[in-house]
């Protein structure tokens, strides 16, 4: 299958290089890149410094947080093709769990984190099981409604802070002499980065195996997937629940850094923003989504005049991307590859069937 244009395609070359590398080289490259990401907070370069806000703080939020959430939403929208417009709800549930349990019980961050994740997952099951039977557009509007409902409920229930939200959220306890305080975002960033790497690892494992195949089948043709024996409702709910877990964890971590939350910050715009990250990076494409989220989160911080109409820019970006470049910023892999040792490479480069 010939390319339309024989261009130097960075992605293909990178992917080929990776596949042809022996194991030791892959490990070395992996360690190298991970090390780079961990040392990002120490970067002090006028090219990337963010005027108006602290670079290290920006790394944590919005960059790190958007990346994590985009990875989570990518499982739902990108891999499974389920349009979830209320993703912020799970983020809110995680944040509120941290806020409520942190201020009213003696549990610390590490104890609250699994609870927050569990609550988000339960919400995912409760919302998903009845609604994931619905067709795409209906699912979209129902999830949109859910996102708004969570916010409205939070605003109107005084017991959890009402419109003023909750303040005085405790910071996580020290880890290996790293102190989590409002003054230093670095430990938070490293915590978030570690968690994100864990999620990436999980996602890649699933993508290369049965769940990934099921989700790809569901996205491409739900009816036929069922007829090939895939229990589509089960896998759709799983996608939903995993996405919720990721957002919930993000919420817990976020709340423990920002130390006070208000319900109005968990609004539809944030759901759309994360969706824009997924779209921008290329729906379904894990690395594209990470890059897209990082870019979309970072650019308004770096270029200040973009910051105010940020949402307007995101909205326009959605329309433009869908119409002109639906595959996202990283061009889709053009070549295919077959190894007689039964190794094949998935279209999105997310893993191998060995």
Partner 1 sequence: MTEKLLELKNITMKFGGVTALSEVNLHVNKGEIAALIGPNGAGKTTVFNVVTGVYKPTSGEVNFNGQSVIGKKRYQVTRLGIARTFQNIRLFGESTALENVVTGADVHSKSGVVGAIFGTPRSRREEAAAVERGMELLEFMGLKHRAGQLGKNLPYGDQRRLEIARALATNPQLLLLDEPAAGFNPAEKVALAATIRKIRDAGYTVLLIEHDMSLIMDISDRVAVLDFGQKIADDVPKVVQNDPRVIEAYLGAPADAS
Partner 2 sequence: MDFGLLRDAFWGLTFDGLALGAIYALISLGYTLVYGVLRLINFAHSEVFMIGTFSALVASGIMGVKVEDDPRTGWGMVFTLLICLIAAMLASGITAVLVEIIAYRRLRQRGATKLATLISAIGVSISLVELFRIITDSLPREFPRIMDKTFLFSYAGADIRNDKVIVIIAAGLMMFALERFISKSRYGKGIRAVSMDENTATLMGVNINKVITVTFLAGGMMAGAAAFFYILVYENTSFKVGFFLGISAFTAAVLGGIGNLKGALFGGFMLGVLETWTSAVFGTAWKAVISFLILVLVLLIKPTGLFGESIQQARV
What the block records as the tokens of 176 is 């290996």
Using CB under 8 A, pick the residue from 84, 222, 301, 350 that binds partner 2: 222
Of 296, 285, 338, 306, nearest in space to 74 by CA: 285
- Contact between 309 and partner 2 by CB under 8 A: the answer reads yes
Using CB under 8 A, pick the residue from 118, 126, 153, 228 that binds partner 1: 228
CA pair distance 339, 21, nearest whole angstrom: 14
Identify the DSSP state of 178: B
Give min distance, CB of 240 to partner 2, in A. 14
CB 295 within 8 A of CB 273: no
Using CB under 8 A, pick the residue from 223, 229, 305, 338 that binds partner 2: 223
Burial of 89 (0-12, 13-18, 19+ CB in 10 A): buried
Give min distance, CB of 84 to partner 2, in A. 11
What the block records as the tokens of 169 is 């959220």
- Contact between 353 and partner 1 by CB under 8 A: the answer reads yes
How many Cα atoms occupy the beta-carbon half-sphere of 244 within 13 Å? Answer: 28
* Cα distances (angstroms) measured from residue 169 to each of 59, 96, 99, 176, 180: 21, 10, 5, 22, 12
Using CB under 8 A, pick the residue from 2, 183, 319, 341 that binds partner 2: 319
How many Cα atoms occupy the beta-carbon half-sphere of 158 within 13 Å? Answer: 0
Using CB under 8 A, pick the residue from 6, 44, 177, 336 that binds partner 1: 336
Q: Which does 279 bind (CB under 5 to 8 A by kind): partner 1, partner 2, none?
A: partner 2
- Judged by CB under 8 A, the number of residues near partner 2 is 48
Residue with tokens 């699994």: 114
Site for partner 2 in 174-203 (CB under 8 A): none
CA pair distance 326, 320, nearest whole angstrom: 9
Cβ neighbours, 10 Å, residue 330: 21
- Contact between 164 and partner 2 by CB under 8 A: the answer reads no
Using CB under 8 A, pick the residue from 49, 265, 269, 307 that binds partner 2: 269
CA pair distance 54, 351, nearest whole angstrom: 36
Q: Which does 301 bind (CB under 5 to 8 A by kind): partner 1, partner 2, none?
A: none
CA pair distance 120, 116, nearest whole angstrom: 6
Using CB under 8 A, pick the residue from 12, 84, 148, 216 that binds partner 2: 148
- Contact between 168 and partner 1 by CB under 8 A: the answer reads no
Residue 342, helix vs strand vs coil: coil
Give min distance, CB of 349 to partner 2, in A. 21
182 or 312: whose CB is closer to partner 2? 312
Stretch of 21-29, 130-138, 190-198, 294-302 contacting partner 2, by CB under 8 A: 130-138
Q: Which does 224 bind (CB under 5 to 8 A by kind): partner 1, partner 2, none?
A: partner 1
What the block records as the tokens of 30 is 């992996």
Which element (helix H / strand E) includes 345?
strand 343-345
CA pair distance 294, 286, nearest whole angstrom: 12
- Contact between 160 and partner 2 by CB under 8 A: the answer reads no
Q: Going residue by residue from 197 to 216, which x/- string records binding to partner 1, judged by CB under 8 A?
A: -----x--xx--xxxxxx-x
- Contact between 221 and partner 1 by CB under 8 A: the answer reads yes
181: β partners: 184
- Contact between 289 and partner 1 by CB under 8 A: the answer reads no
Site for partner 2 in 12-41 (CB under 8 A): none
Q: Which does 248 bind (CB under 5 to 8 A by kind): partner 2, partner 1, none?
A: none
Residue ranges in contact with partner 2 by CB under 8 A: 77, 81, 83, 85, 130-131, 133-138, 140-142, 144-146, 148-149, 152-153, 155-156, 222-223, 232, 268-269, 272, 275-276, 279, 283, 308-309, 311-312, 314-320, 322-323, 326
């Amino acid at each position: 299958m010939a390319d339309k244009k024989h261009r130097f395609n960075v992605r293909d070359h990178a992917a080929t290089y990776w596949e042809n590398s022996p194991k030791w080289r892959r490990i070395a490259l992996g360690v190298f890149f991970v090390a780079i990401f961990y040392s990002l907070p120490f970067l002090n370069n006028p090219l990337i410094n963010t005027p108006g806000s602290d670079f290290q703080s920006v790394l944590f939020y919005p960059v790190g947080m958007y990346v994590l959430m985009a990875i989570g939403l990518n499982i739902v929208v990108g891999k499974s093709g389920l349009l979830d417009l209320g993703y912020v709800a799970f983020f809110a549930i995680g944040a509120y769990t941290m806020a409520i349990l942190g201020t009213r019980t003696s549990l610390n961050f590490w104890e609250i984190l699994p609870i927050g994740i569990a609550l988000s997952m339960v919400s995912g099951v409760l919302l998903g099981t009845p609604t994931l039977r619905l067709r795409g557009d209906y699912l979209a509007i129902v999830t949109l409604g859910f996102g708004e409902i969570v916010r409205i409920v939070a605003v109107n229930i005084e017991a959890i802070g009402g419109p003023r939200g909750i303040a005085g959220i405790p910071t996580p306890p020290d880890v290996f002499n790293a102190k989590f305080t409002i003054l230093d975002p670095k430990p938070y960033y490293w915590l978030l980065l570690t968690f994100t790497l864990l999620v990436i690892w999980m996602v890649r494992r699933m993508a290369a195996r049965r769940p990934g195949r099921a989700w790809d089948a569901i996205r491409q043709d739900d009816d036929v997937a069922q007829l090939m024996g895939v229990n589509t409702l089960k896998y759709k709910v799983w996608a939903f629940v995993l996405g919720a877990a990721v957002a919930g964890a993000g919420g817990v971590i976020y709340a423990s850094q920002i130390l006070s939350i208000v319900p109005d910050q968990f609004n539809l715009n944030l759901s759309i923003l994360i969706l824009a990250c997924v779209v921008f990076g290329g729906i379904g494409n894990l690395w594209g989504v990470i890059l897209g989220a990082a870019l979309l989160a970072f650019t308004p911080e770096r270029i200040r005049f973009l910051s105010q109409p940020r949402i307007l820019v995101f909205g326009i970006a959605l329309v433009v991307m869908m119409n002109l470049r639906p595959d996202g910023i990283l061009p889709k892999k053009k070549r295919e590859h077959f190894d007689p040792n039964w190794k094949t490479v998935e279209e999105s480069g997310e893993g191998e069937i060995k």
